[in-house]
Chains A and B, each alone.
Chain A
Amino acid sequence: MTTHKERVLMALNHEQPDRNPMDLGGRQTTLSIIAYENLKKLLGLSDLPANVMAHTWQTSYIDEVVLEKFDIDTRHIRPASRVNESIGEHLSIPESDNTFVDEWGVTRQVVGDYANLISHPLRTATVEDLENFPWPDSADNYDFKAIREPAKKLYEDNEYALVGSLGSPGNIFEQAWYLRGLAEFMKDLIKNKDFIHALMRRILDIRKRNAELYLREVGEFIDVVQLADDLAGQDNLLISPNSYKELVKPYQLELCQYVKSLTKAKVYYHSCGAIEPLLDELIDNGVEILNPVQVSAANMDTQALKKRYGKNLSFWGAIDTFEVLPNGRVEDVETEVKKRIHDLGTGGGYVMGPVHNICADVPPENVVAMYEAGLKQGKSNEPR
């Protein structure tokens, strides 16, 4: 009988598994705190305590009992954030004024399912100012030592595919504009390239240190390692392909290759939006798995993506959180799951999950329907 781990690895090696693998509970494939409370209520599991994954994104860890119930094939290896602890790691649904300052000095405010950016510490900074900025230290921000033993045990159990999250998303482009402010950063891309290069280099060094600390503990155990850096919006890229190649790619490439030098895990890269025009660049960087496959964005048709990039890329996500999961009926969810597994999973190459962390606007019935449909539909794919 195929184990969960074998199922995922077959899919990622572009072979047809016995059923299409499914993910839940990862950095980009979990539920928001509010959505998870709703799901637990539906499942009669309201007694389970809330366990915040990322304060910034208002996301929740998913309990083992729920993962087993849905027959999820992955388990996630993520170091706890010490910064989150200081502001209440086990905080439940937030209330009142939820402004907080993250480890980079960016002020954020929780509104509904998100923590919005409120102010940017490098808004008016010059290249020289970067010298004196209090850069965060990954060794202080995450508890890497604590994950080695649980990861080793899961590895020895050999049951689940292990997905690694560095702690940080490994984002460079995003972190740069979080610090600078998006509008200023975008103007810098055209008028202040020296500043962009200096800022990106600083952030890259911190990400590499983060990757080293993380992979030193668990690099030998994990099957997939996640990087994330959003580069696209609903209709197009956020910046031009030329700006990407000149000012962003060198840093992403260096990080990706550095990660690959420290682990055999396949590199999973997350960018929301209409990312299709950069997929060849990402493949060149060393990316092997694309997440989240935002099917509601421009040129993200799953059949076309599979046809053009399916040999070089596996796909992870793709169940629509824009229209189907929040607004669809149970039948619509089933149709969506069937379509994505057919389009992306024929001949392997697909791990099913939601496009975005499932937010409060998704009825818990649709979450259940998605994974039940995945179990049922995932077995019906015939090899091409």
Chain B
Amino acid sequence: MSLDEIYDAVLDYDDEGIQDLVRQELGAETSPKVILEEALIEALDEVGRCFSEGTIFVPEMLMAAETMKAGLDVLRPLLIGDKSTIIGTAVIGSVKGDMHDIGKNLVAMMLEGASFNVIDLGVDVNTDAFLAAANEHNADFVLMSALLTTTMKAMETSVRAIKSEKPGLKLIVGGAPVNQAFANAIGADGYSDDAPGAISVVRALVKSTVPGCIDASATANTH
């Protein structure tokens, strides 16, 4: 069955073959939403689980996310207008002074793959830029990354400022030196120690704050 092949293509990092597989499945009149949720999202969740367990590493996860993105590129034009597939809008960036972006990019790719509308502001993002993007895109979440102990201070500044300006906006923080105690101390709504965990945190916040919203983590498990 071709949904399985798409799922396997993500796990095999077959970024060249996956687009044909998705097109074939669309040709067999499977809906884009089913391909997204039952093949691509399922596969990325599996990759995330393996990463969190320590059996695969960042290179494998990057390639899986790239492969998923290639598949998603075929689906995206067909999903536009189908609001039921968009779970929420997230603004993401590395905090001011921090030029590191691999972890942040992984979270952005995985969130996009998990059906979020993602506004990626890149690196060295200051508080005003986070706020402006959140306002412009009516975001539900702002995700911030810091790799250095020295840029954690900028994270604290941004979290405190955004919380006082827009208390309803959910703020999620991550990055090597960041931990749950720090996230609590600065008033963030969520924290994860790795990229797959960040997706789980966002999904859990969606579930707890938006009743009736799609819970992507509960899609049919066919694998």
Contact = CB atoms under 8 A, between A and B. Distances in A.
A109 B99 contact: yes
Contact of A111 (B13, B99, B102): B99
Interface of A: 109, 111-114, 116-118, 182-183, 186-187, 189-191, 233-240, 243, 322, 326, 359-361
Interface of A is mostly: mixed
A116 B97 CA distance: 10
Interface residues of B, number: 24
A183 B59 CA distance: 8
Nearest to A241: B57
Interface of B: 13, 15, 54, 56-60, 62-63, 66, 97, 99-100, 102, 105, 148-151, 176-177, 193-194
Nearest to A184: B62
Nearest to B66: A187
17 contacts: A111-B97, A112-B148, A116-B100, A183-B102, A183-B105, A186-B58, A186-B62, A186-B63, A186-B102, A187-B62, A235-B194, A238-B58, A239-B59, A240-B56, A240-B59, A243-B59, A361-B149
Contact of A236 (B13, B57, B97): B57
Contacts of A186: 58-59, 62-63, 102
Contact of A359 (B15, B54, B150, B194): B150
B177 A234 contact: yes
B189 to A, nearest CB: 22
A237 B57 contact: yes
A117 B66 contact: no
Interface of B is mostly: loop
A113 B26 CA distance: 52
B54 A361 contact: no
Nearest to A296: B177
Counting chain A CB atoms within 10 Å of each CB, which of B56, B58, B151 scores highest? B58
Nearest to A298: B54
Nearest to A240: B57
A288 B99 CA distance: 34
A117 B102 CA distance: 13
B99 A117 contact: yes
Contacts of B62: 183, 186-187
A235 B193 contact: yes
A239 B15 CA distance: 20
B60 A190 contact: yes
A239 B63 contact: no
